[in-house]
Amino acid sequence: MTDRELEEVLTFRWPLVMRRVMADGTDDWLKGFVRSVARHGKRSGWRPSKKQEQIMRQLVSELGTAPEREVELIER
The reported pLDDT for the residue numbered 71 is 58
Residues 44 and 24: their CA atoms lie apart, in Å, by 30
Average pLDDT over residues 70-74: 64
User: Side chain identity at 39, as an amino acid letter?
Assistant: R
CA angle 17, 59, 23 (to 5 degrees): 40
The reported pLDDT for the residue numbered 65 is 56
> Using one digit for the tens of pLDDT, what is the confidence trace for 10-64?
999 999 999 999 888 778 999 999 999 999 999 988 999 999 999 999 999 988 7
Instruction: Return the domain boundaries, the chain.
Output: 3-64
Residues 4 and 17: their CA atoms lie apart, in Å, by 18
Query: Within its chain, how far is the Cα of 74 from the centroid?
Result: 28
What is the pTM (predicted TM-score) of this model? 0.76
3-class secondary structure, 2:
coil
The reported pLDDT for the residue numbered 58 is 93
